[in-house]
Structure formats: structure tokens, C-alpha cells
A and B are shown apart, each in its own frame.
Chain A
Amino acid sequence: MKTFYNIFVILIVAMTLASCGGAEQDTKAPESADKHEGSAPQAGTGSYDPKRGEGKFTLANLALSDKLDPVMAKAGEATTEVKCSPCHKLTDEKLVGPGWKGVTTRRAPDWIMNFITNPDPMIDKDPAVQAMLEMCMVRMPNQSLSDKEARDLLEFMRKNDGLK
């Protein structure tokens, strides 16, 4: 069998040389597909901190006060009604996602801020979120919250949990 194939290949090569004109095309080295610019983003791996999640927020840069900022909380409530309330109730009752009651005691504030502004990587990595996904079966959408909107939302959640 092996000889047969080899002979066949040799024959082809010979035909190439003998054919009238042969292949007139350039036979430069094939361009690697990797040369095509750009590529779809790949999920990265690396260390993940389940306490603060993944994102730009830390306890330090949040610098939360013990007192409620009612103006921020009010703005957060308005954002909630447009972007959050279809799936989250303010009680502990689950709708599409879990109810918000007690969320600020269950999760650290930087974790909440990172999750609501950067949900996809955390859904892929965070053990608590993955457990929640098994229950809810819907990935929390990225609602494209601005930093201010997210911070206002956190303040509204704190108010919802009784902070004065």
C-alpha cells in the first residue's frame, strides 16, 4: 500500500513538471491564518478572589459611609425600576433572580459592585454565582450600568436592607 501511494505522489509531481505551463500561480508559503488580524476574545484564567469578585471596585476605592445617602438611594431606585425590577423583587422572594432583601449582608459591597457591572466573568468563575445560576437558570444580563448608576444601586440596596 505504502509504495502505491508513494508512486502515486511521484507521478503527480512528474505530471506537474511535464504539464503544459503547469501551475502558473505563485507558490509562496501559505499565509498563516493567525496573520488575519483580530480575534474573538477568549475567556482568561487566573487567580479569582471570591470575596471581592472581579472588576474595578475594591473596599478602598468604594470608601462607603456608615450613613445612607438618600439622594443616591433615590437615583438607585429609579435605575432599579428600568433595569432591575423585571427580575428582582425587593423582598426575599425569587422572581427570575433572587430577591434583594438582605443582599448587602450576604455579599460584600465591592463584590456587589463588581458583579452588577461585570457579570459575565463572575458568572463563569464565582462559586456563589454558579450555585445561583443552577437555581435560576438565567445568566444575569449585563445591563450596561455606569459606575454612578451602580453606586446608586448599591445605596438603594443598602436602604432596602434598612440602613439609615
Chain B
Amino acid sequence: MKTKLHLAMIAGLLAIVLLPSCKPKDTSSAVTGDAASKSYVAPGKYDEFYNFVSGGFSGQMSCYGLPSGRLLRVIPVFAVDPEKGWGYSEETKPMLNTSHGFVPWDDLHHTEMSQTNGEVDGRWVFGNANNTPRVARIDLTTFRTVEIIELPNSAGNHSSPFITENTEYVIAGTRFSVPSDNADGDVAINTYKQNFKGYLSFISVGKDDGKMDIAFQLACPGVNFDLSHAGKGKSHGWFFFSCYNTEQANSLLEVNASQRDKDFIMAVNWKKAEEYIKAGKGKKVPAKYAHNTYSDATHSATSEMKTDVMVLDTKEFTDICYMIPCPKSPHGCDVDPTGEYIVGSGKLAALIPVFSFDKVQAAIANKAFDGQFDGINVIKYEAALYGEVKKPGLGPLHTEFDGKGNAYTSFFVSSEVVKWNIKDLKVLDRVPTFYSVGHLCVPGGDSKKPFGKYLIAYNKITKDRFLPTGPELSQSAQLFDISGEKMQMILDFPTIGEPHYAQAAPADLIRKNQVKIFKIDENKHAYVTKGEKESKVVREGNKVHVYMTAIRSHFSPDNIEGVKMGDEVYFHVTNLEQDWDVPHGFAIKGAINAELLIMPGETATLKWIPEKVGIFPMYCTDFCSALHQEMQGYIRVSPAGSNVPLMFSLGNTIDGKAPATK
């Protein structure tokens, strides 16, 4: 009976699949019988790829396994995360410091993995903050944000954080042009053309330690820089930026920035810019921006406020930037694995132009220019064009590559992914997405060496795809097997926040480098407690420092008295465990704060200002052992001026002191 039922179910499923096959836009089309086995990763088995997905307006980055779509981790980046104490512990608060002060949220749009020789190397993944412009670096040995640098002269850091082929630079182009930070910004908004500038930041990345620094900024005409990608191989040394609003409108951009038939892809010879900087042609300009770094040695972040930035005004140099006309309001700007073809995706265009790097070089050499835009030479469209993909779909946005000569472009308006051949520009296949696809990701898909097995489409709209959850629905990822000639949809899964760009890399590149614990002997935190013998409570004026340890399953000390109203209490909790996957949590009743989640060998600090007199329990929040429910303690808060002495204890053994009694 069981087999019969299965037979019936399979048949039923098949019927659902096949009946609407004449209408490819139906929600259930394009799934074939073996899809489940292609995305199924059995319990206890590992995924083939790590997939780093931008969390959009959640401000975080998520990490999924592919092909299962299992959520492995949410990495807090630009938004506070009470679950992990990110932005709540004293150690992590400086990471979210900016020139505007502490900013608890942002909008993370794009992820980009570090590369060596144009190939994904699995060391770091970068993310951009779109609202208050910043770039973050996440260390893939700890899956933690270890560095955040703010970008002066920028607003809407959208064209970011794309990298050069040896991670020499992370690039950040401003979406909103604005008056420079150094200028008097109190100008009429309709003086956009005179007063607004677009800045492109070139952030150098330390070869070994990954440390970021703004090497220089290019001051460019005021337009909207949208997306970008580095040249690679033969075009290494160049960067390509899509520009829209070349109308330089400052209101109702929906209409006013859609006037021209062609906007631009701006080609930037960054090696040339580097030369000018080396020759001392740049100007140091006053600016204020935060540079925040996290240390695994001290388990603490520091925030440094920088005061100047090197700027090169591209108006003064005719051989750095060139404009390539691109129809119409281009969004994605993608370079194929060989570095020869640059694909511009005009949101409002009915074709996809493909530019040739060799032709661009020839056009520059032959001065095949068609006037200037705000002082920058405009290359003739035909002189740069390799060819056009005709009638590919509606609303092209982004293109990824499979390393086998094919490109995959997302179409927002027609909700589909289109596979086409780069050489002959012929459309090979198209599949619907559900719905309104934005970015695409092929593992290694923007590098010299894509792993062209899967393609993931990130969709903006999911209505009717999952069980409904009220007015607010999740966005989604859709996984396609692209190993054959035709794309095959094999999985749908919801995502956190709104996924924009994503990257993926073979699991082995990252898995083998994982840090499992922090060595307690190497802990250099200023308030570390190395062993229960050192646990103590120290008063400094109205500041009370609790040097506390956590191990299965107690805190030391776990009874504290003599805290008074008006005190600021700092719980510096050191996790003494030295085994993988044994974090301890720490929380105290009434704290206007989050919990701490402390990894083995780590120290983290919770600041607590008692609000009233009484007894306050604290406890471990992360189920750590069979006696986890016993992992608790009490703090007594007395009125200001009370003569209760400062006492602390664990059982009756700590420092030989008897437990405090009333």
C-alpha cells in the first residue's frame, strides 16, 4: 500500500508539473523529478559550497550551504545583533562607530570574496554599507567582522565592495553624488551640476593581514555610480563602473534620470591613477571617517577617527577615466572570466551591449572620441562595442559567468534568467524565476575561474511561493543546476533580509581553516580572568569591574554584594572552556542591553547600570551541559551610600571569603 501511495504521489506531482507546461510563468513549472536529489544533502553530510549572501536591509551577511540551502550562520556586520552581543558588548561597540557616532543599522548590498590571481582564495569576504558608507571585512577563519572602514565624500555606497584580481584594492563608488565633506554643503539642491561630485574610493588591502586603508579617492563628475567590476587578466589594472543619472537630475529621478538613451560605463585606469598618486599629484584633503578593527588577541575592537584622505581630481588628468556610452540607465557592470568582455545591463534597455576591452584600448589609442562629459572623454559607442544581445528580455540587471563561454543575465521585469553565449551573443536558454530576480551568483562567477555547476537567483518577491506569513514575506533564493545545456531549477529557499549580491566558494577552501577555540593562554584582553583563582570584583569609584569566569556549569564568582545605586557594573566574562562548540552566555535581569555570547577562551564585557535596589539573578543563556540550569548567580544592589561591603564568592572557596550574608 505504501509503494502504491508513493506511486500515486509521484504521478500527482508529475501531473502538476506537466499540466501547465505550456505556460512557463506558472509558479510550479520548471521543476523536474530529479530536482530533489540534486539539492538533497543527507543528514550528517556536508554541502559542496559556502554561499555568502548579502542581508540587505538586515545589515548582516548570511552564509548558506549549497546545494542544500541550509542556513549555516548569520554574520553580524553593520547592524546590532543581540543574539551574539554584537554592538552590545563593550568589545564590539567600537565596530559600529562612525563619524556620525554609533550607528546600529545599515543596508548591506554586496558581498565580494578575496581573490589571488583572479581566483577566489577563501580568506576574507567583504560587504558594503549602503546608507552610511562603509566597507567591512569578514575573516573566514572565524566568520566574524574584523574591520570596518567609513568612506568620506560618499553617500549611498552602492558601487562596492568589488575587488581587483589580487585583492590589491576594494573599490567603493558613491551612488548619491554630494558636495565633498570638506566643502560648504549648505547649497541649494538644484545646484547639483556645479556643486555635487561623485567619489570613487580605492581601499588598499594588506596582502597578509587584510588591513584596509583608503589609498586614494577619485573625484569624478556628479552622477549616480551604480555597480562596478574590476578588469582581470588582460584588463587587470582597469575598473569599470556603471553610471546612471548622467542627466544630473536632483528630483523625480524616475523620470528625470531616464531621459537619455545612453548613460555610461566609466572605464578607470587605476594603475595610471596609482602612478599619479606615487608622483605626488594627489591632494590630501581634510575628512573625518572612522576606521574600526577587531583583534582576536584582545577580543576587543578599537575605533580610530581619521582626519584626511588623498584625492585625485580626474578633471585634471585625461588619461584615467573614459566614458563608454551604454543604453540605458545601466545597473550591472560585469567582466567575463577572460577580462575581454564587459557586459553593461541597461535597466531600461531592450538589448545587452557587450564591450570589448581590446576595442576600448584601440579607441583610446586612436582617440575615437565623441566629445566629453564633464571633462571626461567619451568613447564612440561603436568603437567600444563588441556586439549586442538582441531581445534578451525586459529589464536586464546583472550577469554572471560559468567559465565555459556562457553568460547568465537576470531580468527583473520579465522575471527570468537568460543564458547566452558570449562569443556569438545568441540566447541559449531562459528560465522563469519567482519572482522579480535581482542579483545572480555562480560560485566564483565574477572571477577568472568560475565553478559553473550552480546558479542562484535572488528574488525580490515571493508571494505565493511559501506558506503566507501575513503582509511581510521573505525574499528568496532559487537554485539552478547549470551543469547541462539547459538550466534546471532544483530548489527554492527563503533568505534573511533582502539578498542582493552573493558569492560562493568550494567548501574545502574555507572549511579547513576554521578556528575552533581561542587559546586561553593567548588571551590578551585587559580584563581577562585566567582561572577561577583570579576571579574577583574590583571597585574603581562608581565603576565596579567583575572579573568573572564561566565553565560548565558555573560562574565564578556567582554571588556579589556591595553594588550600589549609581554604580556602573562591568561583567568581564572569560569562558575557560577549551573545546569546540562550547560557548557560554551571560544575561542579567533588567539590563538595558543584550546578552553576551562568549566563545571558548574569549572574554566579553556586559555593561549594566542597576536601576533599582534588590536582588538580580544572572544566568548562562546557552545550554551548556546537563547542569546548565544550575549555571546562575545573584547580585545584590543596595541604595547609594549603603555600607554593605563589596563581597564576592563561589560556594565558600573563593579567596577564602565566606559567602556574604545579610
Contact = CB atoms under 8 A, between A and B. Distances in A.
Interface of A: 1-2, 5, 8-9, 11-12, 15-16, 19-34, 36-40, 42, 81-83, 85-87, 96, 137-139, 141-145
9 contacts: A11-B11, A27-B33, A28-B34, A30-B34, A34-B42, A37-B46, A40-B44, A83-B578, A141-B578
A142 B486 CA distance: 50
Contacts of A15: 14-15, 18-19
B520 interface: yes
A12 B14 contact: yes
B511 A25 contact: no
Nearest to A82: B531
Contacts of B656: none
Given A86-B556, A142-B578, 9 more contacts: A11-B11, A31-B37, A42-B44, A82-B531, A86-B531, A138-B553, A139-B625, A142-B580, A144-B519
A40 B4 CA distance: 35
Interface string B548-559: 010111101000
B41 interface: yes
Interface residues on B, range: 35 or more
A15 B18 CA distance: 7
Interface string B528-572: 001111000000000000000101111010000000000000000
A138 B446 CA distance: 49
Contacts of A138: 552-553, 625-627
B488 interface: yes
Contacts, number: 142
A15 B15 CA distance: 8
Nearest to B7: A5
A144 to B, nearest CB: 4
Contacts of B37: 30-33
A37 B65 CA distance: 12
A37 B507 contact: yes
Contacts of B48: 36-37
A85 B580 CA distance: 20
B319 to A, nearest CB: 48
A137 B553 CA distance: 11
A34 B45 CA distance: 8
B626 A36 contact: no
A12 B485 contact: no
Contacts of A22: 18, 21
Contacts of B582: 141
Nearest to B550: A86
B485 A83 contact: no
Given A86-B576, A137-B627, A144 B552 contact: no
Nearest to B1: A1
B404 interface: no
Contacts of A42: 44
Interface in B1-57: 4, 7-8, 11, 14-15, 17-19, 21-22, 30, 32-34, 37-38, 40-42, 44-48
B471 interface: no
Contact of A38 (B40, B507, B530, B532): B507
B517 interface: yes
B22 A20 contact: yes
B32 A23 contact: yes
Contacts of B17: 23
Contacts of B576: 82-83, 86
B508 interface: yes
Nearest to A41: B44
Interface of B: 4, 7-8, 11, 14-15, 17-19, 21-22, 30, 32-34, 37-38, 40-42, 44-48, 67, 484-486, 488, 507-508, 511, 517, 519-521, 530-533, 549, 551-554, 556, 576-580, 582, 625-627
A8 B11 contact: yes
A81 B520 CA distance: 12
A34 B517 CA distance: 30
Closest 9 CB pairs of A and B: A30-B37, A26-B484, A38-B46, A144-B578, A142-B579, A30-B34, A81-B531, A143-B578, A82-B531
A3 to B, nearest CB: 11
Contacts of B552: 87, 96, 138, 141
B488 A26 contact: yes
A143 B579 CA distance: 5
Given A5-B7, A143-B578, A12 B531 contact: no
B34 A85 contact: no
Contact of A85 (B14, B21, B507, B533): B533
A39 B579 contact: no
Contacts of A27: 32-34
Contact of B7 (A9, A24, A96): A9
A40 B46 contact: yes
Contacts of A5: 4, 7-8, 11
Contacts of A26: 484-486, 488
Nearest to B555: A86
B471 to A, nearest CB: 35
Nearest to A21: B21
Nearest to A38: B46
A83 B551 CA distance: 9
A25 B530 CA distance: 61
A86 B508 contact: no
B148 to A, nearest CB: 31
Contacts of B44: 39-40, 42
A92 to B, nearest CB: 15
A99 B583 CA distance: 25
A141 B579 contact: yes
Contacts of A12: 11, 14-15, 18
A38 B485 contact: no
Contacts of A23: 17-18, 21, 32
Nearest to A24: B486
B520 A83 contact: yes
B419 to A, nearest CB: 13
A19 B625 contact: no
Name the residue in A16, A21, A33, A139 with the highest tally of chain B Cβ atoms < 10 Å from its Cβ.
Answer: A33
Name the residue in A29, A138, A139, A145 with the highest tally of chain B Cβ atoms < 10 Å from its Cβ.
Answer: A138
A5 B44 CA distance: 36
B8 A143 contact: no
B654 to A, nearest CB: 11
Contact of B577 (A1, A32, A143): A143
A28 B625 contact: no
A141 B46 contact: no
A131 B395 CA distance: 68
A34 B42 CA distance: 8
Given A26-B486, A37-B48, A86-B532, A20 B554 contact: no
Contacts of B549: 86
Contact of B579 (A2, A25, A96, A144): A144
A86 B533 CA distance: 9
Contacts of B484: 25-26, 28
